[in-house]
Structure 1
């Protein structure tokens, strides 16, 4: 995995992924590198360092709060983080991580193909990380959620039949199914359903690093205005948006107990966020 680096005055120390097979954070590293580059003229040099140690999200929160080990992370919004850290409330994934499709065992493909109601879907046991914000949204919607604190364990549990569905963001699922295929060839991506959970990924900064937070805020707004943000976002995500064929899926939407859609769109307006019914074939042609 490539980690962008440069030498600097401002040092951004960001979390390492949860395992060697976890590539979910690469986009957030590269976006932060772009932000640093876009703010050199007024903030000076900056460097991006990926922490050596892997930590759970709860430990990352404590580390950020205390100003130890790391000083920035890109994470889904939650109230405690918003209150005790410095959130930069610009949804850097445009809500795509809330477009959840399911990894399942091949044997269960017909079960999901025959689902027509949310009640039928919630009757199936599902898997989630213990500290993921989507876990609480699914529990509130009536899902029976089986948890693990370990990212890789969830794929093992699914393969062993501990649960039937494992919801993953459209931005995550295709890379994951490829990476875990050798270990678990019986796992596939369901082609029929999508669960829409309103989600916003924000950069969070340690409360003792207000300069870094200001630099991210300024840099993000700058690259959104000059088009660099959308260029990077769609270059990294169009492949997944097109592969997922959202226009052919039955979509169920549930609430997020951590934030409302009104809050998500308040900073940049409704047009900034993706809608699962957008015409991604047309949209992505602009960024080929």
Structure 2
């Protein structure tokens, strides 16, 4: 073996050693989530924080990532178009929708545990006695109700026999209710208290009914652009991880126990209607049926036990 061959072998050895010392680099994933429908609409804050928790939980194996909230307020139909492209936004947390399931990548883990399907009504003060006297679903459906034009709950309510008065604008629904365009305005337990408080100065005649809950099976999923399959994979891995280690439950109950306790769901008259857009078996296909909330539970006890456990840990 001549000197040139020895030199080449030595050079190859140094090259291999050098490559083995190069740190592994990861893609810097960029999550761009939608802006809420209005500057007064804070329903998405929990989902922003949950997504950040997912990102943090997958940092070691997926690498660094950024989370950005789009500064553009868009209708849900436009959001779908933008998600299909994946440039302006590439992820959203939204109620299950057959069209979205077909055209986007859904991560079928109900990240709100079904709570947004526990519908409590915002009403005018003068109609409180009317709702207090209701004893049947037929009486409830005889009252005009309000809904966003593109909300999935609208379809379920129409199928159940409600006369639904629609608006494409989130803010305008509160104005329409205060003017008597409809009698009831169903909102999720996770939404209703904040909304009445936010609109109290503008519409002081609006209050929360204390007697009835309408249960519509409803799941909020993360939907991802079909052009961003890596982000979808990362979200599913992260969600499974934080569910298994308890971080999901801690965040969920920290953000929702106040509303669950205040609503006294198990003391209300509960009417349940079908949702043609989703079944409870689909909602629980990944996480199991016990993952969903039961409105008949006493959340004053459940939340105290969970809070004590969180503090203890």
Q: TM-score range by the shorter chain?
A: over 0.9
Residue number among 159, 169, 172 corresponding to 1:150 in the alignment: 169
Q: Paired residue for 2:214?
A: 195
The structural deviation recorded for 1:43 is 0.4
Residue number among 171, 186, 189 corresponding to 2:205 in the alignment: 186
Deviations 1:141-200 (A, max 9, x none): 000000000000000000000000000000000000000000000000000000000000
The structural deviation recorded for 1:286 is 3.0
Q: Paired residue for 1:211?
A: 230
Larger helix fraction of residues = 2
Aligned-partner Cα distance in 2 for 1:127–1:52: 27
Q: Report matched runs for 1:54-73 at 5 Å.
A: 54-73=73-92
Aligned-partner Cα distance in 1 for 2:98–2:38: 26
Aligned-partner Cα distance in 2 for 1:213–1:247: 36
Q: Paired residue for 2:4?
A: none
What RMSD in Å do the two structures reach over aligned CA positions? 0.8
Matched, 1:107 2:126: yes
Q: Paired residue for 2:12?
A: none
The structural deviation recorded for 1:83 is 0.7
Residue number among 224, 237, 243 corresponding to 1:224 in the alignment: 243
Deviates more, 1:157-166 or 1:8-17: 8-17
Q: Paired residue for 1:9?
A: 28
The structural deviation recorded for 1:279 is 2.2
Q: Which runs of 5+ in 2 are unaligned?
A: 1-26, 308-313
Q: Report matched runs for 1:46-57 at 5 Å.
A: 46-57=65-76
Tell me the secondary structure at the aligned position of residue 256 of structure 1. Answer: coil
Aligned-partner Cα distance in 1 for 2:297–2:163: 30
Question: What TM-score results when the alignment is normalised by the length of structure 1?
Answer: 0.96
Residue number among 140, 149, 153 corresponding to 2:159 in the alignment: 140
Aligned-partner Cα distance in 2 for 1:85–1:146: 29
Aligned-partner Cα distance in 1 for 2:222–2:73: 18
Residue number among 80, 99, 106 corresponding to 1:80 in the alignment: 99
On the 8 A contact 1:235/1:287 being kept in 2, the answer is no
Q: Report matched runs for 1:231-270 at 5 Å.
A: 231-270=250-289
Tell me the secondary structure at the aligned position of residue 182 of structure 2. Answer: coil
Tell me the secondary structure at the aligned position of residue 286 of structure 1. Answer: helix
Q: Which runs of 5+ in 1 are unaligned?
A: 1-7
Aligned-partner Cα distance in 2 for 1:56–1:47: 24
Residue number among 178, 187, 190 corresponding to 1:171 in the alignment: 190
Tell me the secondary structure at the aligned position of residue 196 of structure 2. Answer: helix
Matched, 1:159 2:181: no
Tell me the secondary structure at the aligned position of residue 306 of structure 2. Answer: coil
The structural deviation recorded for 1:287 is 3.1
The structural deviation recorded for 1:20 is 1.1
> Considering only CA atoms, is the larger Rg found in Structure 1 or Structure 2?
2
Residue number among 115, 118, 133 corresponding to 1:96 in the alignment: 115
Alignment coverage as a number of residue pairs: 281
Aligned-partner Cα distance in 2 for 1:68–1:47: 14
Aligned-partner Cα distance in 1 for 2:45–2:76: 17
Deviates more, 1:195-204 or 1:64-73: 64-73
Deviations 1:231-277 (A, max 9, x none): 00000000000000111100000000101111111111111000101
The structural deviation recorded for 1:208 is 0.4
